[in-house]
Chains A and B, each alone.
Chain A
Amino acid sequence: MSLELETATNPEALRRVAIEPISRVEGHGKVTLLLDEDDHVRQARLHIVEFRGFEKFVQGRPFWEIPVMVQRLCGICPVSHHLAASKAMDQIVGVDHLTPTAEKLRRLMHYGQILQSHALHFFHLSSPDLLFGFDSDVARRNIVGVAAEYPDVAKQGVLLRKFGQEVIRITAGKRVHGTSAIPGGVNKNISKEERDFLLKDIYPIIGWSRDAVHLAARLFEQNLDLYNSFGRFRAHNLSLVRADGAMDLYHGGLRARDMDGKTLFDHLEYSHYWEHIHEQVKSWSYMKFPFFRELGPEEGWYRVGPLTRVTQCDFIPTPFADHERRDFLAFDGGSATGATLGYHWARMIEMLHAAEMIKELLHDDDLLGSDLVVTGERRERGVGMIEAPRGTLIHHYRVDENDLVVRANLIVSTTHNNQAMNESIRQVARQHLDGRKLTEGLLNHIEVAVRAFDPCLSCATHALGRMPLEVELLDAEGGRLDAVSRDMQGCC
């Protein structure tokens, strides 16, 4: 697993191109490329340019506040943080098993989050690239362009997203900043009326989700050579799986396989994750680089998220999604399972699974139950792990005798994928940019690779007037040779 192109041997003699911030990803990310005089790429890096300080943010707070408070870390997947923190706090209050009502309500909330997040990413953030082409007219390459030329696709995206948000609103108690998951369970069930409100729409939701899987598959098939090779790299994989090997996005044991499919560990109890997962710091990024301890930092990095989950599980426990999983694995001799752009197809399979799970849960009367909370004996340490939309999410807390958080460690999905995203942009740089004069379309190829992972480099700050994209070309001394910025009116 080469780290070629991570660090150039003679950076002082190279030109620097920065894509800052990357568009259609969340937060403050930046890609820098160093080019020699013949436009050959000598270094490519994805940086995170904002120090987040999440762990400090929660230190000193009472543990029962944490599940609500951590939602403010991220405006994109607050439910994932709410649930991962709640799972950690279950352990703090000495609870290993929730009541059926509490666990099913949390699962319903989680699958609502998966559905709406995956819908947003595919229909509104990625479909412009996938439907029009990576270097198509930038004025057309956005969701309005999709709405104009593919109105049904755009409308389905809106309605899928809205349905997921409604599931969250009803289960979390609020549209944002939900409060229902608490240490040891939940503080509310749902009413029969609320359940029926969601049930009336679930069948078209499943139908549109199936259509979305087929659209993603068709795009892959129609552009097979490009999709198979684009940003492709070999990587180890990490995900949670259920005890029987099934996909389970809410709970399970850790499964890690190397790039050849050999098992590194399986059904690992995640409360001891740190015995196998370490993090490396690099001077050029605020985001750490996790790796498998057994393999070391250079060889042990891995990827997480939909592509990993769909390929690592033994089966998906809902019929339509499992059918699609088998088609995905069999397609073109399995080529899509290692392709960076295979993430989109896998993500839609998961969205279908989420829709099917929501239907299954809505037919379960345990949702209406009143046995909501379990208590136990206080513990000092709690680890919560969940498969968030973007991949494995770890919340780890230590709480003192005064019930205050004294230590917190969060490893978010995008951090797990840090090295993988860097590797992917280096492949794209080699394949598409090397030796060519850079254009907006070519630079967008880099962004397409990053976007496939749906990274959340969250700052969740969106004041009016921020510049969404700026590209600078600088000389070896850092002087600005040229710059292009796209303002909020879309001007370049």
Chain B
Amino acid sequence: MSRVEGKPGRLIIGIGNPSRGDDALGPLAIERLDALNLADVELLSDFQLQVEYVLDLAGRDEVIFIDASVDPALAGFSFLPVRAQRDTSYSSHALSPAALLAAYEHHHGRPPPPCHVLAIRGHAFGLGEGLSAAAAAAFEDALVFLARRLSVA
């Protein structure tokens, strides 16, 4: 897939509500990454993924989604590739990363760029709450991992 001129090659999207406890993990990660002044990286933060993000994904070398996860099997964080897959998140105001990639294929008529999800275990999501202790610890580990992967650690 060809790069779009003027568009950074790597896109990182933090997903979540900063005022909803551990749902803030994604936006907080974007804040921390922003301070690193990463080259050739665009950082975005939003409450949830929506279908128009298929336009943001176009022309990238890689896309990374960062989101809180409520998967009880997840101990701290995971970094896994994600592929296009139709799922019932289409039926909500919010799309999952896999569903967004499926929408991408239909919209652009070609496969999406390589994508990964950095999922960080969240535990509490109350309005006005800060990060839980467990999520805060996982968050730091996840950021160290991501910074190394982005070659700035």
Q: Output the least CB separation between A155 and chain B (Å).
A: 6
Measured between beta carbons, the chain A residues less than 8 angstroms from B46 are: 75, 175-176
Any chain A CB within 8 A of the CB of B16? yes
Number of A-B contacts (CB under 8 A): 146
Contact A488 B47 (CB under 8 A): no
Q: Which residue of A lies closest to B71 (CB)?
A: A465
Any chain A CB within 8 A of the CB of B151? no
Interface footprint category on B: 35 or more
Q: How far is the CA of A158 from the CA of B18 in the complex (A)?
A: 26
Q: Output the least CB separation between B99 and chain A (Å).
A: 8
Q: Output the least CB separation between B98 and chain A (Å).
A: 8
Any chain A CB within 8 A of the CB of B134? no
Assess A143 versus B90: contact at CB under 8 Å? Given A158-B51, A158-B54.
yes
Any chain A CB within 8 A of the CB of B63? no
Q: How far is the CA of A155 from the CA of B48 in the complex (A)?
A: 20
Contact A142 B91 (CB under 8 A): yes
B-contact 0/1 string along A39-72, CB 8 Å cutoff: 0000000000000111011000000000001001
Q: Which residue of B lies closest to A460 (CB)?
A: B17
Contact A461 B23 (CB under 8 A): yes
Stretch at the interface among B2-10, B32-40, B121-129, B137-145: B121-129
Contact A72 B19 (CB under 8 A): yes
Measured between beta carbons, the chain B residues less than 8 angstroms from A148 are: 106
Name the residue among A25, A139, A176, A465 with the largest chain B CB count within 10 angstroms: A465
A154: contacting residue among B50, B85, B106, CB under 8 A: B106
Measured between beta carbons, the chain B residues less than 8 angstroms from A487 are: 87-88
Contact B88 A144 (CB under 8 A): no
Q: How far is the CA of A176 from the CA of B17 in the complex (A)?
A: 11
Contact A462 B106 (CB under 8 A): no
Q: Which residue of B lies closest to A142 (CB)?
A: B90
Contact B17 A125 (CB under 8 A): no
Contact B22 A463 (CB under 8 A): yes
B16: contacting residue among A56, A143, A463, CB under 8 A: A463
A463: contacting residue among B44, B67, B107, CB under 8 A: B67
Assess A24 versus B23: contact at CB under 8 Å? Given A75-B17, A144-B106, A489-B87.
no
Name the residue among B45, B93, B106 with the largest chain A CB count within 10 angstroms: B93
Q: Output the least CB separation between A120 and chain B (Å).
A: 7
Measured between beta carbons, the chain B residues less than 8 angstroms from A116 are: 52
Closest 9 CB pairs of A and B: A75-B47, A147-B106, A72-B19, A142-B90, A23-B91, A162-B52, A464-B69, A463-B68, A462-B94
> What are 30 residue pairs bridging A and B, where the CB atoms are less than 8 Å apart in the complex?
A23-B91, A23-B92, A24-B92, A53-B127, A57-B128, A73-B127, A76-B47, A120-B93, A128-B90, A142-B86, A142-B90, A144-B99, A144-B102, A147-B107, A157-B51, A158-B103, A158-B107, A161-B50, A177-B45, A460-B48, A461-B17, A462-B16, A462-B48, A462-B94, A463-B22, A464-B67, A464-B71, A464-B117, A465-B70, A487-B87
Q: Which residues of A contact B (CB under 8 A)?
A: 23-26, 52-54, 56-57, 69, 72-73, 75-76, 78, 116, 120, 124-125, 128, 139, 142-144, 147-148, 151, 154-155, 157-158, 161-162, 165, 175-177, 459-466, 468-469, 486-490
New contact pairs (19) apart from A73-B127, A154-B106, CB-CB < 8 Å:
A25-B93, A26-B93, A53-B128, A76-B47, A124-B90, A128-B90, A148-B106, A158-B51, A158-B55, A158-B103, A162-B55, A175-B46, A177-B18, A461-B17, A462-B15, A463-B125, A464-B71, A466-B70, A469-B88
